[in-house]
């Protein structure tokens, strides 16, 4: 299987070609968000198969297929960026509870990376809220009907 990577300013799309006889393509969405407050990047991915996304960031991680969502600390070498990556298997798994849970993991990882105090008043909560908003933007972008020209 081959993966073709298209990197835009706010979106990375991996296209997976299936067997040569099949003309179907699977678009794997990974949205990129730069944080204005901390020197990190947040990536939010949506794909049934986490492997192509993980291979793009860190081939050392493995897809735990029992999980509907996972959060990783990653570096994107080509873009020279460090941050967190949240992957959801499907938009159906992006409910309030799951997004809050993964946002908390991501915020803790970011605070550890920058050496910030997790117990600080409001800073951690604002970051978790920003991450949750980014997850919502990614979900909406995936669900938005494509306009045909």
Whether 50 is in a domain gets the answer yes
The rounded distance, in Å, linking the Cα atoms of 93 and 69 is 8
Q: Of residues 18 and 82, which shows the higher confidence score?
A: 82
What residues are paired with 34 via a beta bridge?
41
The answer to whether residue 3 scores a pLDDT higher than 50 is: no
The pLDDT of residue 101: 95
The pLDDT of residue 26: 61
Range of the domain at 99: 2-143
The pLDDT of residue 18: 32
What residues are paired with 14 via a beta bridge?
5, 28
Whether 148 is in a domain gets the answer no
Whether 58 is in a domain gets the answer yes
Question: Among 39-43, 65-69, 129-133, which range has the highest average pLDDT?
Answer: 129-133
Whether 137 is in a domain gets the answer yes
- Mean pLDDT score of the chain, rounded to an integer? 79
Work out the average pLDDT over 16-20: 35
| Domains contained in the chain, number | 1
The rounded distance, in Å, linking the Cα atoms of 45 and 47 is 6
Give tens-digit pLDDT for 130-148.
999 999 999 998 888 655 4
Sequence-ordered alpha helix ranges (H) in 15-61:
51-57
Whether 149 is in a domain gets the answer no
């Amino acid at each position: 299987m081959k993966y073709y990577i298209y990197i835009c300013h706010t979106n990375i799309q991996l296209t997976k070609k299936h067997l040569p006889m099949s003309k179907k393509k699977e678009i794997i969405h990974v949205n990129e968000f730069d944080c204005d407050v901390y020197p990190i990047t947040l990536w939010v991915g949506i794909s049934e198969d986490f492997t192509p996304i993980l291979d793009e960031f860190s081939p050392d991680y493995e897809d735990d297929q029992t999980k509907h969502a996972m959060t990783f600390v990653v570096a994107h070498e080509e873009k020279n960026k460090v941050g967190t990556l949240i992957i959801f298997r499907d938009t159906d798994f992006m409910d309030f509870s799951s997004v809050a849970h993964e946002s908390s993991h991501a915020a803790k990882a970011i605070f550890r990376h920058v050496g910030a105090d997790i117990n600080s008043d409001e800073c951690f909560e604002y970051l978790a809220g920003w991450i949750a908003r980014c997850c919502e933007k990614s979900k909406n972008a995936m669900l938005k009907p494509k306009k045909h020209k």
